[in-house]
Homo-oligomer: A and B are copies of this chain.
Amino acid sequence: MQNQDIEIVVIEDEEDILELLEYHLSKAGYSVTGFLSTEHVERFLEEENPALMVVDRNLPGVEGSEFVAYLRDEGYDIPVIFLTAMDQGKDLEEGFTSGGDDYMTKPFNPKELLLRIDALLRRSGVRKSDRVKYRDMVLDTKQHLLTIEGNPVELTNLEFRLLYTFVKNPHQPLDRDFLRDEVWGDDSASFHDKTINVAMNRLKKKIDPSGEKEYIVPVWGVGYKLV
C-alpha cells in the first residue's frame, strides 16, 4: 500500500467526527494520530515529524487557525487541511491566511478529503514516486532504501544496484555478462570470475538470511534469476 508509513495528525474536538476521520484515513493506509485539542500537538510534532495535519477550524480554547498561524511562525512547514462547520467567507480567509493549504466544509465527503490529502502530499514532496515493488520487497530508489515486510534492510550501494536490476527484470535469468554491464559498468576490465558470485551471495544473505524465501535462485551455467 502506497500510503503505508505516512503519518497524519487529526485535531478535532467532536469525538464522533474524529473517529470517523480516523476510520477513513486508516482505511486508506495512513497511520493516524488524533487529538481532541491543540494542547499536546506541538510536543508531538517535535518528536514525530508527521506528513500532514487535518485541523478543525473551531476548537475549544485555541482556534485551529490561530494554532496553525502560531506553528507557521515557529517555522513548522507541515501541510494543513482545515475543516470547518460552515462556509463563511471570513472563516475561509482566516484559514488560508493563517497558513493553511486547503479548506473543506463539513459535512465533508471522505473521498474528496482523501483526494485532497493525496494531492497535497504529492505537492509537498512526501510521496516518493519512484518506488519499485516485488513480492514483499519495496525498493525506494530515491531514498536508497529497501524494506521487506515493512522492515528496513540495510544494503550497500552495490547490493542495492544489483537488487534493483533484478527487480527491474523479474522472472528472467540474467546472465553474468548482463549483470556485469548493468551493475559494474565500465569497470569490466580485469574482473575475477567469482566476483559476481560473491556479490550475489552477500546480497542473498541480506535479503533472505534464512534462505527460505528464495527470491533469487541460480540458473546453472547462466546466471541468476528473480523467481
CB closest residue in chain B, given A145: B173
Number of A residues contacting the other chain (C-beta, 8 Å)?
52
CB closest residue in chain B, given A225: B143
Task: List 12 interface pairs A-B (beta carbons < 8 Å), by A numbering.
Answer: A73-B131, A75-B133, A92-B111, A96-B116, A99-B122, A101-B119, A101-B120, A102-B102, A102-B116, A144-B219, A156-B220, A156-B221
Interface set of A (CB-CB < 8 Å, partner B): 46, 49, 72-77, 79, 89, 92-93, 96-97, 99-102, 109, 111-112, 115-116, 118-120, 122-125, 129, 131-133, 135-136, 138-139, 142-144, 156-157, 169-173, 219-222
Given contacts A101-B119, A142-B172, 15 further A-B contacts (CB under 8 A): A74-B131, A75-B129, A75-B133, A75-B138, A79-B123, A92-B111, A92-B112, A93-B115, A96-B115, A96-B118, A101-B122, A102-B119, A120-B123, A125-B169, A144-B219
